Amino acid sequence: MASQEVKLLSLWVSPFGHRVEWALKLKGVEYEYIEEDIFNKSHLLLELNPVHKKVPVLIHHGKVILESLLILEYLDEKWKEFPLLPQDPYEKAIVRFWANFGEAKLLRPGWPALRSQGDEKEKALKLWIEDLEKIEGELKGKKFFGGETIGYLDLAMGWISYMLPVWEEVGCSTILDPKKFPSITAWTEKFLSHPVIKENLPPRDKMVVWFEKRIKEPFSAQ
């Protein structure tokens, strides 16, 4: 029973979870999806991830793999269909570098920056945009981060295409100006048209409601 070999514990709105789902689907891996309520964490989650208590969690034949980017590497090593990472060690180092950069400088501080107010917001966004410009530079002249087809870095950066616009709307700020970010804009369109990505995105209106609720609460790094 293939679907019982692989299980994914995640939250419907988590960009960390989405990238794992895309990877599983791109590789044609059957899996069982288990929804987790992060505001009321299950015994299962606390047992599987006692150190961080976070999603996503991949369970393969009972073994637990944590951290979305590490899960992508694990999937690439276990399932050879649709390779995500480049073969060449140097090319691999480049994508890992940019994935880490995207995580630390853009994804994690993104929502906190956009939900903040006044001077604090202006300062945070200024730095954030400078860092986004580095991604724009990295993408120049390429169809995808992975070249002709989507790969590890496209999945790592995927949240920019569908989640950042929601943050912009809820946070009342425009960042992804097509004139300032032509490469990212073009990439967003191509990424979202990919059949696997298109079929596996959370509903936009549901996301807007979620983030509007979060903005009313005091911030906690969930």
> Using CB under 8 A as the criterion, which residues of the chain lie in contact with other proteins when the complex forms?
50-51, 60, 63, 65-67, 70-71, 73-74, 77-78, 89-90, 92-93, 96-97, 100-101, 134
What SS3 class is residue 52? coil
Nearest residue (CB) to other proteins, 106 versus 207? 106
Nearest residue (CB) to other proteins, 2 versus 51? 51
Nearest residue (CB) to other proteins, 40 versus 87? 87
Longest Cα separation, the chain: 55
Q: Rounded CA gap, 98 and 138, in Å?
A: 9
Q: Rounded CA gap, 13 and 9, in Å?
A: 12
Rounded to the nearest whole angstrom, what is the least distance from the CB of residue 205 to other proteins in the complex? 34
Nearest residue (CB) to other proteins, 55 versus 166? 55
Helices (H), the chain: 2-5, 15-26, 43-48, 68-78, 89-101, 108-115, 118-139, 152-157, 159-162, 164-171, 182-193, 195-198, 204-216
Rounded to the nearest whole angstrom, what is the least distance from the CB of residue 94 to other proteins in the complex? 8
Q: Rounded CA gap, 159 and 48, in Å?
A: 25
Nearest residue (CB) to other proteins, 103 versus 168? 103
Distance, C-alpha 126 to centroid of its chain:
22
Question: How many of the other CB atoms lie within 10 Å of CB of 136?
Answer: 16
Rounded to the nearest whole angstrom, what is the least distance from the CB of residue 70 to other proteins in the complex? 5
Rounded to the nearest whole angstrom, what is the least distance from the CB of residue 52 to other proteins in the complex? 8
Q: What is the DSSP letter of 219?
A: P
Rounded to the nearest whole angstrom, what is the least distance from the CB of residue 181 to other proteins in the complex? 17
Nearest residue (CB) to other proteins, 1 versus 51? 51
Rounded to the nearest whole angstrom, what is the least distance from the CB of residue 57 to other proteins in the complex? 12
Q: Rounded CA gap, 28 and 32, in Å?
A: 13
